Amino acid sequence: MTLEAKVRRRLGSLDLDVDLEVAAGETVAILGPNGAGKTTLLRCLAGLEPVDAGRIALDGVAWDDPGAGVFVVPEQRSVGFGFQDYVLFPHLTARENVAFGLRSRGATRGGARRRADEWLARVGLADVAGAKPAALSGGQAQRVALARALATDPKVLLLDEPLAALDAATRGEVRRDLRNHLGEFPGVRLLVTHDPIDAATLADRLVIIEAGRIVQTGSLAEITVRPRSRYVAELVGVNLLVGVARDREIELEGGGALVAPSAATGAVFAVVRPQAVALHRERPAGSPRNVWPGRVAGVELLGDRVRVRVDGPPALVAEVTPAALHELGLVEGAAVWISVKATEVDVFAD
Amino acid sequence: MPWLVGLLGLLGFALVVLPLIGLLREASWSNLWSDLGTPQAWAAIKLSLVCSLWATALALVLGVPLAWVFARVEFPGRSFVWALTVLPMVLPPVVAGVALLDAFGRRSFVGARLYDWFHVQLTFSTAGVVLAETFVAMPFLVITVEAAFRALDRRYEDAAVTLGASRWTVFRRVILPMAGPGIAAGAVLAWARALGEFGATITFAGNIQGRTQTTPLAVYLLLESRPEVATALSVLLLGVSVTVLALLRRRWLARA
């Protein structure tokens, strides 16, 4: 199963022109700044907005093809849509919200109710089935919205900023659950986010759009190493390291360790911005807690900055000025010392 | 100057309150129930209830779709059609009555056909009272419900259609319940207006006891012959108005 989309859509100052192909079993994250056209793209895929030109098709069957005069209305597309702030029906209970799609698609009252209860149990909310959305916490509302979108067994799941409305405390937990549910969903999975951590942890492939155009696609690792623009570098060009924390020490997957500014336990992500990575010819003396030797694996010029890939372990990308590049004699294969201040390590619980 | 503002404000308040005090002072409270129970008063009360509830039902059935069209459908001349629809709110009721006569009277262009084809005569009939009341009351419902529809977040409809709901299901299960408080408020408002209708009713439907003589008409007629009954009916209508205001207080007074 494959979703093919060529979306051309003009809306106010937005001029969206995106070609995208997503296969079943793959999770694609669309990243971009506000107004880049991310939400509009999802709305076009769901049929909430028509495309001006282009074609949207699932397994070769057109959903929207203005050239051929085809437009399948949203209620006829097999899409589960997660809205940014969930848009749960306020007059219905959590159970009725989840049952809504099943009822609309012809399930009996009892059948829909049973299926809704099953879904609520799957997202761990069996005990709030009778509660109205106003009584739910942000994390609970997110789960109800996810259950509602999945309950109709759609072929395509579209999630618009699924975690943006959550506070930092619940975000990690909800993100982990969401990843599990995404993993169990067999269809096409597409999510919009502006958070590279969400994108990297939930998606197999990142698609970055800026002003209505795709500027880069790839895994976070690929993009971190070689961001195509200053903007992409700032948005997603971060070092994301996976490890297990014990107190302030994080044992990294693939070797090496980092000291974090605060204590944590269990699986974590550590994020280090390339600008925070310092390179030295000699082992630096003084305050940095994280110091290790490495070798330059590649040098990339990006505007007025240089991105230097260094092998570790851990391997990182550092961003330095062209002057520093020259001064340090950073060529491929050169031996360097890498340092990162503990305060520059951001830790996210997985 | 603040004392002048305060004084004028106080006078304005007195202007509204003094007649109400007068009405309550005039009422013979011990005989209130027996006065309301006189055959003419009781007939008027029953007729008022029946006619105003029918008018409210008609206004709901016709006005809610109309409000929906105004809230969501763009068409040429929309503001002109809207203005015509709400015109009865500002039209002198007696003019409404004359206009209804000119359209639905026995010899008028619609009324004559109604009589010829269906033997229906609206003038001097209870149905005529309902028609007159609907005519003046429906605009109140339409503008209230239209505002409620406009206030709805469109994304709830988006969510419903992505869940597979047909347009009718969306309307029935999402829009109507979410606009429910607004529709209820519009209905109460329209009912209150219908209940107090006088000018259009007496002009179009006449003043026939038991058939077209609603409570306001009875008050007017009884003021000469049985002023105590007229006062009792007035107190009743005042009580209904106060109740309506209490019902709608969340909608309006909360904003004050």
Count of Cβ atoms closer than 10 Å to residue A150 Cβ: 22
A289 — phi, psi (to 5°)?
-80, -25
Amino acid at A162: P
DSSP, collapsed to helix, strand or coil, labels residue A158 as: strand
Q: What pLDDT shows up at residue A346?
A: 78
Max distance between CA atoms of chain B, in angstroms, equals 68
For residue A118, how many C-alpha atoms fall within 13 Å in the half-sphere facing its CB?
Answer: 10
What are the C-alpha distances in Å from A320 to residues A226, A235, A294, B17? 14, 17, 16, 80
Judge contact between A149 and A181, C-beta under 8 A: no
Q: For A315, which DSSP code?
A: P
Share of chain B above pLDDT 90, in %: 69
A93 — phi, psi (to 5°)?
-75, 170
Nearest residue in chain A measured CA to CA from B166: A75
Q: What pLDDT shows up at residue B252?
A: 58
Q: What pLDDT shows up at residue A287?
A: 61
Tell me whether B181 touches chain A (CB under 8 Å): no
Residues B169, A81: C-beta atoms closer than 8 Å:
no
Q: What pLDDT shows up at residue A226?
A: 73
* Alpha-carbon Rg for chain B in angstroms: 21
Helices B111-118 and B93-104 cross at an angle (nearest 10°) of 40
Spatial neighbors of A141 by CB under 8 A, at least 6 apart, are A86, A88, A133
Domains of chain B: 41-255 (1.10.3720.10)
Provide, as residue numbers in chain B, all residues whose Cβ is less than 8 Å from the Cβ of A133. Answer: none
Output the six-digit token pair for A179.
């990843």
Class of domain A2-236: alpha beta
Mutate to test the interface with A, among B157, B162, B171, B178 (most CBs of A within 10 A): B162
Nearest residue in chain A measured CA to CA from B153: A87
Tell me whether B249 touches chain A (CB under 8 Å): no
Nearest-CA distance A10 → chain B (Å)? 20
Q: B255: pLDDT confidence band, cut at 50, 70 and 90?
A: very low
> Among B11-15, B205-209, B251-255, where is mean pLDDT lowest?
B251-255
Judge contact between B126 and B50, C-beta under 8 A: yes
Provide, as residue numbers in chain A, all residues whose Cβ is less than 8 Å from the Cβ of B163. Answer: 75, 100-101, 104-105, 148-149, 152
Q: What pLDDT shows up at residue B28?
A: 86
Provide, as residue numbers in chain B, all residues whose Cβ is less than 8 Å from the Cβ of A87. Answer: 153, 155-156, 158-159
Count of Cβ atoms closer than 10 Å to residue B13 Cβ: 10
Chain A contacts to B (CB-CB under 8 A): 43, 46-48, 73-77, 79-81, 83, 87, 89-91, 100-101, 104-105, 148-149, 152
Nearest residue in chain B measured CA to CA from A84: B155
Provide, as residue numbers in chain A, all residues whose Cβ is less than 8 Å from the Cβ of B155. Answer: 83, 87
Locate CATH 2.40.50.100 in chain A: 239-349
pLDDT digits (tens, 9 = 90+) for B179-192: 988 999 999 999 99
CA dihedral B100, B102, B106, B111 (to 10 degrees): -70
Tell me whether B81 touches chain A (CB under 8 Å): no
Q: What angle do CA B211, B216, B219 make, to 5 degrees?
A: 100
Chunked into runs of 10 residues, chain A (350 residues) has average pLDDT values of 91 90 92 88 93 92 91 91 91 93 89 92 90 90 92 92 82 84 91 84 89 88 73 74 79 76 76 80 74 80 78 81 78 79 75
Tell me whether B151 touches chain A (CB under 8 Å): no
pLDDT digits (tens, 9 = 90+) for B65-89: 999 999 988 899 999 999 999 999 9
Place of tokens 């060009």: A237
Provide, as residue numbers in chain A, all residues whose Cβ is less than 8 Å from the Cβ of B173. Answer: 100
Residues B161, A73: C-beta atoms closer than 8 Å:
yes
Residues B160, A104: C-beta atoms closer than 8 Å:
yes
Judge contact between A46 and B162, C-beta under 8 A: yes
Contacts 24+ apart (CB under 8 A), B178-181: B178/A89, B178/A90, B178/A91, B178/B152, B179/B145, B179/B148, B179/B149, B179/B152, B180/A91, B181/B148, B181/B251
Q: What pLDDT shows up at residue B106?
A: 86
* pLDDT of B251 above 70: no
Share of chain B above pLDDT 70, in %: 97
Locate CATH 3.40.50.300 in chain A: 2-236
CB pairs under 8 A between A and B: 62
**Among A46, A80, A104, whose Cβ lies nearest the Cβ of B169?**
A104
Residues A91, B166: C-beta atoms closer than 8 Å:
no
Torsion sign, CA atoms A77, A31, A160, A266: positive
The CATH number of domain A239-349, selected from 2.40.50.100, 3.40.50.800, 3.40.50.460, 1.20.120.1200: 2.40.50.100
Judge contact between B62 and B138, C-beta under 8 A: yes
Judge contact between A250 and A289, C-beta under 8 A: no
Residues B162, A89: C-beta atoms closer than 8 Å:
no
ipTM: 0.77
Residue range B61-67: average pLDDT?
95
Mean pLDDT of chain B: 91
Nearest residue in chain B measured CA to CA from A42: B162
**Among B159, B169, B180, whose Cβ lies nearest the Cβ of A83?**
B159
Residue range B228-237: average pLDDT?
93
Nearest-CA distance B136 → chain A (Å)? 32
Q: What pLDDT shows up at residue A17?
A: 93
**Among B153, B164, B173, whose Cβ lies nearest the Cβ of A75?**
B164
A15 — phi, psi (to 5°)?
-130, 90
**Helix or strand (DSSP H, E) at A140:** helix A138-150
Q: B255 versus A108: which is more confidently predicted?
A: A108
CA dihedral A76, A80, A81, A85 (to 10 degrees): 140
pLDDT digits (tens, 9 = 90+) for A273-287: 888 888 887 777 776
Classify each residue of A52-64 as buried b or exposed e, where b means 16 or more C-beta atoms within 10 Å of its C-beta: eebbbbbeeebbb
Q: B256: pLDDT confidence band, cut at 50, 70 and 90?
A: very low
pLDDT digits (tens, 9 = 90+) for B100-138: 999 998 888 898 898 889 888 888 999 999 999 999 999
Residues B165, A75: C-beta atoms closer than 8 Å:
yes
Report which of A43, A62, A44 is spatially closest to residue A52, judged by C-alpha positions: A44
**Among A48, A91, A104, whose Cβ lies nearest the Cβ of B163?**
A104
Strand A70-71 versus strand A61-65 pairing type = antiparallel
Nearest residue in chain B measured CA to CA from A107: B164
Q: What pLDDT shows up at residue A350?
A: 65
Nearest residue in chain B measured CA to CA from A105: B164
> Among A184-198, A265-279, B40-54, B160-174, where is mean pLDDT lowest?
A265-279
Residues B164, A91: C-beta atoms closer than 8 Å:
no
**Among B158, B165, B173, whose Cβ lies nearest the Cβ of A48?**
B158
